[in-house]
Structures are given as structure tokens and as C-alpha cells.
Amino acid sequence: MDKSRLEAFSDGVFAIILTVLVLELRWPAAGVGALAALLPELGKYALSFVFVGIYWVNHHHTFQAVRRVDGAVLWANLHLLFWLSLIPFATGAITQQGLGPLRVEFYGTLLLGAATAYSILIRTLLRLEGPGSLLARAIGRDAKGWISMALYVLGMGLGPLDTRLSYAMYVAVALMWLVPDRRIEGRLGTGAPRAGRRASEARGRISGTQRRSRT
């Protein structure tokens, strides 16, 4: 099954999520003091924007490393998009009503749901691609993904004690993923020249066979 439609559909959903996300911001009444009060809301918006952006970048890199998709991959991808589509709703709650324990834990639940859904998507793709595939070599044990989910759970647990600690855990995960993850990109970079050389050698063998057949 061709993967191009899945990628095009996913890119459209990512774009819509980011567009809806900014609509959750509310312009303050007036004055410099009111604008300064908007800064915490901008910070929460920026965090959600970064999270969605991280998923888009990794989603793009992941599907560059796979050759095809099947029905299970389509549903796993929709599962991921479901959780991400709820992030604007949760962001609106924490920007308009503050960092209450319930709202911060709900935000963390969505982040954990998205991380779990992405892990399921990766496992579904690995089942399709095989253990020796480019994706399998690039992902490895996925320690970064497991650490992220552990930090989300820790952040949710810290919510009743201090919501700022929860928020700090979520920010830590974002910072961890902002560091470029070159596992797949690096594999693609090293794999491309080899693929090009193999194609060139194949063309050379075909040309040689054709010349010999003419003689």
C-alpha cells in the first residue's frame, strides 16, 4: 500500500492542529501590564507548539525510512493524530484557567497518550518492515521514547504536590526532543549513497550486457 496518501493526510492534520492551537490565545484588555500578563500564556502555547512540531518532524523522518504501509499502520497513525488533536483543547484549559492540578494532569495524560500512540505506530511499522530494516536499525531500543513516557507519568504524579513541578517535567521532555534526533536521518544519509552506487552498478551491468549482445 502506497504511503503518500497517509503522509499527505497527516501533514494536513498537523497543520490544522497548529492553526487551532493559536486560536486558544486571547488578546488582553489593554496596556503594557496586560501584555506582560500574556507572557505565561505564550509560554504554554509555545510548549504545545513545540510538542506538535516534534511529532511532525519525527513522523516525517519515520516515514522516510519505510517503504509501504498497511491497514494496521493507517489505524495506528489515526490513533496518534487523535491524541495530538486534543492538545489545543488542553492548552486552552491551562492558558485560560491556570495550572490547576486537574488541568495539568489532563495535559500530561494527553502527552502520555500521544507518546504511547507514537510507540504503537513505530512497533506496527517495525512489524511490517522487519527486524533488519532501516527503521529497526535507526530506532534501536528507543530509550528516549521510554524515558519520555516515564517523565510524563512522573509529572502527572507531581501534580497534586506542585503543578509547577509537573510543568517542569513536560518542559524537560520537550527540551530532550529539541536536541536533533539523527538516528533515522543519519541512516538515510548513509544509505542513500549506497543505494545510488547499487543503482549505478546495475545500470552499468545492463549497459555492458546490451553492448555484448549487439556485438
pLDDT tens-digit map of 59-82 = 998 898 888 899 999 999 999 999
List phi, psi (to 5°) of 158: -80, -10
Mean pLDDT of 141-166: 88
Residue with the larger pLDDT of the pair 179 and 77: 77
Q: Which residue has the higher pLDDT, 156 or 101?
A: 156
Q: 90 CB contacts (<8 Å, ≥6 apart)?
A: 48, 103, 106, 107, 110
Residue 98 pLDDT grade (very low, low, confident, very high; cuts 50, 70, 90): low
| pLDDT tens for each residue of 23-43 | 877 776 665 566 666 777 788
Strongest mean pLDDT among 92-96, 165-169, 204-208: 165-169
First to last CA, the chain: 43
* 75 contacts 9 by C-beta, under 8 angstroms: no
Asked whether 136 and 130 are in contact (CB, 8 A), the reply is yes
The CA–CA distances, whole Å, from 153 to 103, 118, 191, 213 equal 15, 16, 37, 68
Q: Tens digits of per-residue pLDDT, 100-152? A: 788 888 999 999 999 999 999 999 999 988 888 888 887 877 788 889 999 99
Contact 169, 152 (CB under 8 A): yes
pLDDT tens digits, 10-27:
999 999 999 998 887 777
The vertex-35 CA angle with 161 and 23, nearest 5°, equals 75
**Three cell numbers written together for 155:** 509529572
Q: Report residue 165 as a C-alpha cell.
A: 513541578
- Length of the chain in terms of residues written: 215
8-state DSSP, 100: -
| Phi-psi group of 3: left, alpha or beta (phi > 0 → left; psi -120 to 50 → alpha; rest → beta) | alpha
